[in-house]
Amino acid sequence: MLRASLCFFVLAWSLVAHALPPISARDVDFTGNHPMRNVDGPYADPEVTWSSSGTEAAPAISIDIDGNLSVKFEHYNNSDKSGTGVFQVYFAELLLPDSTTVPLQVNGNSGASASVSIPAYGSFWSPNFQISGWDPWIHGGQLRIGYLVDTTGIPGLVGYGMTREWRFLVNLEPPVGHMATVWHELLEETTAYAWGEDDPTQAGKDLTFGLYYAQRFAYPGQENLTSNWFDESNSFKLSTLLRTSGWVTGNCYDVAVYLHLLFESQGLSNEPLLRLCQRGPYDLRAFLSNDICPIGSDSTIPSNYNPIAWTNHCVVLFDGKIFDACLALQKAPDLSGYWNPPASWTSTQHWYVDHGQEFTGVAKRFIQPSEIISFDPPQFNFDLHLPHEMTQSEDTTFIFGGIL
Amino acid sequence: MTALLSLTTIFLSYNQAQSECKFNLFIPAERGFVLDLSRHHIDQLSNEISYLFFLRSSSKSSLSVDVGLRRSPRSKQTIEIESDPLFGYLNDRRGLPSKLSIGLEGWTPRGVSGSMKVVARFENASAQVTLHYTAHKEKGKPRFNNETWDEDIALVESLARQAMSIAVRWKLAGVGSSIDAGRESLIERGYVRLGPWMTSKGFTVTWDPMKRMATFTKGNQTIKLAEGSREGFDGSVRKDHGSLIVGLNGELWAKTSQLSSWIN
């Protein structure tokens, strides 16, 4: 009702006055939200800033489930009238992708107002208004806030009102580590993968599955063993990756570090874990993997599962469990059909579990000297009839030099 | 009176203040690559890297060229992985059209794939060129749009050799050093201009700008030397001439003590 009345006033005012109102909007500043950036650089803070060089606007803001968000608005009075007005935030809501809206609270109510001192020919900030009431799970939408500057008490000064909108992302925990200033692209990605989750482990599973099935990274197996997205000082080239659209090649380091960053964007502290196979024949670490379906291929097709020769494998370690978006396995640790990437598996479950005739996990056995045709270039003739055997991994944190 | 306006927040990217890449490389326009990013980065360990990033819209591929100077040691795990006799790939040259190595150690593509990457190192200086193709799905697997592999690998080799020269110049004369400073540092270290030196020995010269390879001919002898390599062909025999050939301002520079012994 209020909004309908206001629309009427706008129409009436614009038909009669034929001029801009003397009060105009300037800056908007959220507090409590997470620092954000995208591939081009940091987002503006205040989130909207008017300046002589134009407008800088943050295209999104991020808050976690338990976050305390407040907002204030700056305006400029381009008239000689001054006095005390009323600044009213009369609604806040979150518009979801299914076109439903979640009403948000303003200072704990549906709306709030406070007096504001309006100088002549000067700028003035509104008080802070607390915004709350978004759902307690990972999601995103369009934050809409409607406000009025009521100047009824200042004769001759025309008031002002506006509805503003921001892309609004609710993540699980405040982003951490390399994502302390969270990259918008990654936050959108993780929001899509883990939509609706409120549990860290389940969110981690969603991120692992989401990345595996994203048709983003493709691991071409033995064709490509060097990492593609690290520079010579071992920094992950996130900017160039995000600028490259579509499917790209990546090995387990690329996938694990990217997954590590996805976890961090949702505030899930984790580490990329390098699993080196213990030394075997020839004093090599080379091992034959289980039949794996590498990231990028369709894991529902049995012929996409093949063994690969590796010396090491990089994964994500979160809450003591392994999350591996680089590959899918046909069987779960209990021998049931799985056909998905390992997520929240124990270290042992991920590496090797002996079930007698069968085994589960990533590592099947050492590569035998008789299977090595050539060291340079590496060429093998795998004897797929050789039985599985227990090997052990030597795990260490994979330390990389940051992100570019 | 009150006005109600609706405003959708305008996306205006905010460019972080970062320095520009400290080198330039020329890519022929007909190759379709357009510069998208130019950056210079110094990390917390004072490692420096400059990189250029290009996009090619026609085949949705991307290309990056990095030149870096490392000032921190490699981690033990990195050294162990890179030196693995099965998967380490030191000073490989099989995947390059010239069949000559770049730098003292490095990696080259093993075969046609969804990406190609050349890594070349000279002590703590490095050059890296990576080209990524995108893919479409066929029978449940990604099939990369790499039909232009042969011409692309030639471009990547050319860029890698030029980038290696820049990396060596930075190592000798400082990051972002000028052509003149690079020339002085090369002279100080005993390098001479290869073309005039070979000409003085009676050789004629031809230049392959893609392979960055000079072919020197005198009578029955043909010597091929490539920018950024310490290898060359004396006839059909691959030989090591002991130091990298450095390109500077359109000329090749070399140490000639071992090359002298190649000349009949």
Tell me the sheet residues that pair with A89.
A112, A147
- pLDDT band for position A33 (50/70/90)? very high
Whether A258 and A375 share a structural domain: yes
Could you read off the pLDDT of B176-201 as tens digits, one per residue?
Answer: 999 999 999 999 999 999 999 999 99
Determine contact: B12 vs chain A, CB below 8 A: yes
**CA-derived radius of gyration, chain A:** 28
How high is the pLDDT of residue A365? 98
Q: Rounded mean pLDDT of chain A?
A: 93
Whether A139 and A217 share a structural domain: no
How high is the pLDDT of residue A20? 67
The mean per-residue pLDDT over the stretch A174-179 comes to 98
- Neighbour-count burial of B236, counting CB atoms closer than 10 A to its CB (0-12 exposed, 13-18 middle, 19+ buried): exposed
How high is the pLDDT of residue B179? 94
Q: Residues with Cβ < 8 Å from A319, sequence gap 6 or more?
A: A200, A201, A204, A270
Does residue B264 register a pLDDT over 70? Answer: yes
Contact B113 A300 (CB under 8 A): no
CATH code of A58's domain: 2.60.40.10
In A, residues 42-71, which contact B (CB 8 Å cutoff)?
A: 42-44, 48, 54-59
- pLDDT band for position A53 (50/70/90)? confident
Query: Strand A292-294 and strand B48-56: pairing?
Result: unpaired
Residues of chain B with Cβ-Cβ distance to A148 below 8 Å are 2, 4
The mean per-residue pLDDT over the stretch A228-240 comes to 93
Contact A165 B8 (CB under 8 A): yes
At the second CATH level, the architecture of B29-179 is 3-Layer(aba) Sandwich (3.40)
How high is the pLDDT of residue A386? 96
Could you read off the pLDDT of A289-340 as tens digits, one per residue?
Answer: 999 999 999 999 999 999 999 999 999 999 999 999 999 999 999 999 999 9
Residues of chain B with Cβ-Cβ distance to A17 below 8 Å are 1
**Domain limits, chain B:** 29-179, 189-262
Contact A162 B66 (CB under 8 A): no
How high is the pLDDT of residue A222? 57
- pLDDT band for position A220 (50/70/90)? confident
In a domain? residue A281 = yes
- Counting one residue from chain A and one from chain B, the pairs whose CB atoms sit within 8 A come to 225
How high is the pLDDT of residue B74? 87
In B, residues 141-170, which contact A (CB 8 Å cutoff)?
A: 141-142, 144
Does residue B3 register a pLDDT over 80? Answer: no
Does residue B9 register a pLDDT over 80? Answer: no
Q: What letter would DSSP give residue A306?
A: B
Residue from the list B39, B94, B141 with its beta carbon closest to the beta carbon of A297: B141
Contact A162 B144 (CB under 8 A): no
Higher per-residue confidence, B80 vs A142: A142
User: 0.80 cut: is pTM over it?
Assistant: yes
Contact B16 A9 (CB under 8 A): no
CA distance B155 to A383: 40
Per cent of chain B over pLDDT 90 is 75
The pair of structure tokens assigned to A164 is 């503003």
Does residue B90 register a pLDDT over 90? Answer: no
How high is the pLDDT of residue B18? 58
In B, residues 29-48, which contact A (CB 8 Å cutoff)?
A: 36-37, 39, 41, 43-45, 47
In a domain? residue A97 = yes
What residue in B sits closest to A239 (Cα-Cα)?
Answer: B37
Domain range for A90 is 2-171
In a domain? residue A402 = no
The domain boundary residue, chosen from A171, A206, A241: A171
- pLDDT band for position A15 (50/70/90)? very low
Could you read off the pLDDT of A71-98 as tens digits, one per residue?
Answer: 999 999 999 999 999 999 999 999 999 9
Could you read off the pLDDT of B132-168 as tens digits, one per residue?
Answer: 999 999 989 999 999 999 999 999 999 999 999 999 9
How high is the pLDDT of residue A378? 80
Contact B2 A220 (CB under 8 A): no
Determine contact: A215 vs chain B, CB below 8 A: yes
In B, residues 93-132, which contact A (CB 8 Å cutoff)?
A: 94, 107, 110-111, 113-115, 117, 119, 121, 126, 128, 130, 132
The domain boundary residue, chosen from A113, A143, A171: A171
DSSP output for A19-80:
S--SEEEEEEEEESSPPEEETTEEPPSSSEEEETTEEEE-SEEEEETT--EEEEEEEEE-SS
Residues of chain A with Cβ-Cβ distance to B51 below 8 Å are 231, 237, 240, 404
Q: How far is A308 from chain B (nearest CA, A)?
A: 13
The pair of structure tokens assigned to B41 is 């980065």
Determine contact: B57 vs chain A, CB below 8 A: no
Per cent of chain A over pLDDT 70 is 94
Whether A267 and A163 share a structural domain: no
Q: What phi and psi, each to the nearest 5 degrees, are found at residue A155? A: -55, 135
The mean per-residue pLDDT over the stretch A158-184 comes to 97
Nearest Cα neighbor of A291 from A299, A283, A279, A280 is: A299
Q: What phi and psi, each to the nearest 5 degrees, are found at residue A6? A: -65, -40
CA distance A386 to A368: 9
Residue B181 CB: number of other CB atoms within 10 A?
14
Whether A100 and A200 share a structural domain: no
How high is the pLDDT of residue B144? 93
Could you read off the pLDDT of A380-402 as tens digits, one per residue?
Answer: 899 999 999 999 999 999 999 89
Strands (E), chain B: 4-8, 33-42, 48-56, 61-69, 105-107, 115-122, 125-132, 135-138, 141-144, 192-193, 204-208, 213-218, 221-226, 231-234, 237-240, 246-248, 251-254
Whether A71 and A130 share a structural domain: yes
Q: What SS3 state is found at B3?
A: coil
CA distance A7 to B5: 9
Q: Rounded mean pLDDT of chain B?
A: 89
The mean per-residue pLDDT over the stretch A113-121 comes to 97
Could you read off the pLDDT of B18-45 as tens digits, one per residue?
Answer: 599 999 998 999 999 999 999 999 988 8
How high is the pLDDT of residue B58? 84
Whether A54 and A193 share a structural domain: no
Whether A37 and A73 share a structural domain: yes
The mean per-residue pLDDT over the stretch B59-73 comes to 93
How high is the pLDDT of residue A298? 97
- Neighbour-count burial of B138, counting CB atoms closer than 10 A to its CB (0-12 exposed, 13-18 middle, 19+ buried): exposed
Residue from the list B1, B68, B142 with its beta carbon closest to the beta carbon of A247: B142
The mean per-residue pLDDT over the stretch A7-18 comes to 42
How high is the pLDDT of residue A134? 98
At the second CATH level, the architecture of B189-262 is 2-Layer Sandwich (3.30)
Whether A211 and A357 share a structural domain: yes
Contact A233 B70 (CB under 8 A): yes
First vs last C-alpha separation in chain B: 97
Whether A227 and A112 share a structural domain: no
Domain count, chain A: 2
The mean per-residue pLDDT over the stretch A364-390 comes to 91
How high is the pLDDT of residue B6? 30
Whether A364 and A261 share a structural domain: yes
- pLDDT band for position B14 (50/70/90)? very low
Whether A186 and A321 share a structural domain: yes
Residues of chain A with Cβ-Cβ distance to B4 below 8 Å are 3, 6-7, 9-10, 146, 148, 161-163
Determine contact: A108 vs chain B, CB below 8 A: no
In a domain? residue A403 = no
How high is the pLDDT of residue A61? 97
In A, residues 183-202, which contact B (CB 8 Å cutoff)?
A: none
Cβ(B95)–Cβ(B150) below 8 Å: no
C-alpha angle A148-A154-A156 in degrees, rounded to nearest 5:
100
CA distance B166 to B145: 31
Could you read off the pLDDT of B203-236 as tens digits, one per residue?
Answer: 999 999 889 999 999 999 999 999 999 999 999 9
The domain boundary residue, chosen from A171, A187, A204: A171
Q: What letter would DSSP give residue A367?
A: P
Contact A6 B135 (CB under 8 A): no
Contact B14 A56 (CB under 8 A): yes
C-alpha angle A390-A396-A399 in degrees, rounded to nearest 5:
145
Cβ(A167)–Cβ(A140) below 8 Å: yes
Residues of chain A with Cβ-Cβ distance to B130 below 8 Å are 228
Q: What SS3 state is found at B74?
A: coil
Does residue B8 register a pLDDT over 80? Answer: no
Q: Do B29-179 and B189-262 show the same overall fold?
A: no
How high is the pLDDT of residue B148? 94
